[in-house]
Every structure is written in structure tokens, then in C-alpha cells.
Amino acid sequence: MKNLIPLFLISLMFACGKPSSQENAAEAEADSVYLKKEDFQKEIDGKQTDLYVLENENGVTVYLTNYGARIVGIITPDLDGNLTDISPGYSSIDEYIEKGMYLGCVVGRYANRIKDGKFSLDNVDYTLAINNGPNALHGGEKGFDKQVWDVVEKQDTIVFSYTSKEGEEGYPGTMNVTVAYSLNSENELSLEYSATTDRKTIINLTNHNFFNLKGEGEGTILDHYLQINSNYITPVDSTLIPTGSLLSIQNTPFDFNEGKVIGQDIEEDHQQLIFGQGYDHNWVVNQEVLGDLTFAAKLWEPTTGRYVEFSSTEPGLQVYTGNFMRGQNTGKAGKKYEFRSAIALESQHFPNSPNQENFPSTILLPNDTYHQLTVWKFGVMDEWE
């Protein structure tokens, strides 16, 4: 990849006759972003929700709410300094409650799928809600995405915290969870997760944000370029549960090591693509040391030049190409989220790990601390190489 535009050039563009980032943000709010605090203020289960903002001097602004500890908007500049919201979502708490789709939220206690909603710890069987075909998905009927989190605001960091009680959604142990969002001057949004438990349990957290780098609701993501630092996926059965094996991506539609257009191979006659109705799979990140912060993926859109680079301490990356988006919901800009109009890249442990001994463990013990760091770096470049 080449021809990156440094941050100081973006700043220079703003200084030489273009509106300031604050002015652009104001224009965006008046035009299509227009997120208002009052639309995110609601009492749910006796707790108050609100809207929170992180922004830097380069025009990057991140909107958050404590309902689901979720991202509700990400505004970034394109090659010409134009600011656009690239994170699909809704304009109010009521819409998030009514329409769902896991947009921008933290999912847990266990992100992704658990086969038949069952797992065992120390010969004790646990049963979870079945909410995705025959399987459990994203923590259950009322997972972390539907909880109102407590909030601590700092200068450049928003910290959300939540206590998940013993037996909630069928999981053992009382778990204390925090998620800290921070934005720096290098256009890096860090998502730092931590958790403790008073009883042996399982955990797998991720953020389920979607991206369309042309702008939320602005058509397909099939023309985006994607690079994934991985040589294997965890292949799935017809219910999207991993079989327990690893599948080499060499000479398959799943090889994104050099980067390619997402739509290039998505309609290939490959059994895994048929099962997922496109890409809806976990890639095994090429990680030298489990738990080290590692480059996982890069997403780039050629007409705007926007990119986002993904790094994480997690061993897996779930890539979901919006295969079940069918225009049923309308987003912030008043446009429907059509088939494959957004992509989610979710740093995570592997799906169904509690039932696969050969997968990295998702067990959390008392006196231990779960920790995950994921970093999204936003920028622009004029060419993919």
C-alpha cells in the first residue's frame, strides 16, 4: 500500500480555505448525522441512557451511548477532507430498541455462536437461550447489547461498566465488565475490555460495529478492498457452528492475505460461502504470541480513499458481509440498509470455543482478569497496492 496522506496534510487542507473540523461536524449534523442528546436520553429498567462524544483535531468524531455500550456514529474525513458518518446505525435509542440488528454494540457474555446453546464446566451442564436457529448467539435474549451500562467520562476516554449477575442468560458467576473507548490524535480508536468473575465462567466479548466507508447507507460494500492477516478459517456447518477443524484459505475465496475487492469471489460455488450466504466466518489471525496486539485486517474504499486498520489481542476475526440485510431497516441518513450494504469485522475468540478443546480457551477464573485490546486506525490513501 502506498500514497498515504499524512495527518499534517489533512490539517493543512483544512487550514487552506476548507472549513474547520468543528464547522464540518456542525454541517454534517445539520445535514445527515444530526445525532441529538435528547434522542438518546431514556430511562430503561430504572437506568438513564445518554449520548457521549469523542473527537480529535483531525475531524474524527465518535458518538457513543451507554445502551449496549455501543457506537452510534463514526465521522471521518475522505481524501478531500469531507466528513461522513461511516458507521451504520439509528438516530435514537427507541430505534435501537425496536429495530435491533446488533449495530455498534458490545456483545456478550459470549459473542458469536454456541452450539445448541449448551456447554459444560467441571461436569456441570449449562443451558442458554436458543436465539439463532438451533444455537445461542451474542449472549442471549437480553445480552450485553440490551443492557444500560454505567458511565465514567474522561477527557479522551469514555468508560462503560456493567455487572452481569449470577445466572443471567444462563451463565454462571457474577461478572464485572468494563469497556473503555479512547480516541487519540493519530486517529486511533481503542476499545479496551476487562472483566472479573466470582465463579468459573466463560467470556468472549467483541464490538459489533458495521462499516461502509462511502458513508452509512451509501450502497454496497462489495467494492471495498479487504486484507486479512490469516492463513486459516474455522469452517462451519450449515448452522454456522465451527466443525472444530481449521481450513487453509490457500486457493479458496477466503484468501485475503494480499487484499482484494470483497465482491471478487463472494459468489463462488464454495460450500462455506453457501452456508454463510457470503462471508460470515471466523479467520484465525496470524498471531506470533497469543494475546499480543497484532495487525488483523485493513478495509479500504477507493472512491473516498478512506481506510480503517484493525489490530487486536484476540486470536480470531469474524467477518460478516451483511448477508441478512434486506432493506428492512432505515438508518440515520434516511436510507435503507440493503443487502450487503455494510460489513462487520469483529475481533474475538473463536465461536463455540467452550465445546472445542482445541480452540483457545474462553474460560475465566476467579482472581483472574480478562483483558482485550482492539484498535481501529482511520486514515486515507489514494491507491491500494
DSSP secondary structure string for all residues of 191-229:
EEEEEEESS-EE-B-EE--EE-TT-TTSS-STTSEEEE-
CA angle 357, 359, 364 (to 5 degrees): 80
Q: 281, 301, 346, 349: which one is catalytic? A: 346
98 is catalytic: no
254: three-class secondary structure by DSSP: coil
Helical (H) or strand (E) element with 375: strand 370-383
Amino acid at 277: Q
Grid cell in block for residue 147: 443492557
Q: What do you get for the CA distance between the two ends of the chain, in Å? A: 4
Exactly one of 208, 224, 281, 349 is catalytic; name it: 208
Q: Cell numbers at residue 260, please? A: 482484494
Active site residue 346: yes
Residue (of 286, 282, 289, 287) closest to 348 by Cα position: 282
Q: 95 — phi, psi (to 5°)?
A: -70, -40
Which residue shows C-alpha cell 449495530?
A: 103
**Beta strand pairing call for 83-85 and 201-202:** unpaired
- Asked if 285 and 230 touch (Cβ cutoff 8 Å), the reply is yes
Residues classed as catalytic: 208, 346
